[in-house]
Amino acid sequence: MTMALFFSVIVGAGATPLPATGTVEVLFTPWDDAEGAIVRALGEAKKSIHVQAYLLTSRSIARALQEAQARGVAVEILADREMVTKGDSSLIPKLAAEGIPVWLETRYAVAHNKVLLIDASTPHGFVITGSYNFTWSAQARNAENLLILRDNPALVRRYLDNWQRHRDEAEKMSGAN
């Protein structure tokens, strides 16, 4: 559904509203296949994938990130340090060991972002965000939401700028490229 006629996107306190353009896909788990939508979107990436994850335990999503990297897509991950270092099931260390650059967020009590930016520097880049953690439980057991926001370059740019600000504050994970 195109939302351009109905609202503007407000970013930051006192920030200038961004025009609402493009399309919005809305998914709710456990009813909708949010994991499948993420995997398909990762399969569309041609140039880059920027990940901001609180938790990543989904084997399907991890595999889709590895496959993207194998076909030449630049994949970079920001993750919450506590969830990576204390969580037995985090797949972030495995992805780092396989050559995907990973930075760990340490500045915040919780780095709770759940964002995927696909081809963010291109005219048709898009944002995936919502409450959905990149886990099996988020799909099968939890009540979660996911938005896929396409063809809104100004919005994608704001998300990419925020991703880069977080990366600049984060620590490179040892063993990561």
Q: Using an 8 Å Cβ cutoff, are 145 and 28 in contact? A: yes
Rounded to the nearest integer, the mean pLDDT of the chain is: 89
Instruction: Dump pLDDT digits (tens) for 3-55.
Output: 443 444 545 555 778 888 889 999 999 999 999 999 999 999 999 999 999 99
163-177 CB burial, b ≥16 within 10 A, e <16: beebbeebeebeebe
Amino acid letter at 102?
V
Q: Which residue, 9, 11, 7, 1, is CA-closest to 162?
A: 11
Please tell me the distance from the alpha carbon of residue 41 to that of residue 118, in angstroms, as a whole number: 8
Percent of the chain with pLDDT over 70: 90
Q: Which residue has the tokens 């953690």?
A: 133
CATH superfamily of 41-172: Endonuclease Chain A (3.30.870.10)
Report, as residue numbers or ranges, the catalytic residues.
112, 114, 119
Instruction: Dump pLDDT digits (tens) for 80-97.
Output: 999 998 877 999 999 999
Q: Using an 8 Å Cβ cutoff, are 80 and 107 in contact? A: no
Q: What is the pLDDT of residue 177?
A: 53
What global pTM score does this model have?
0.89
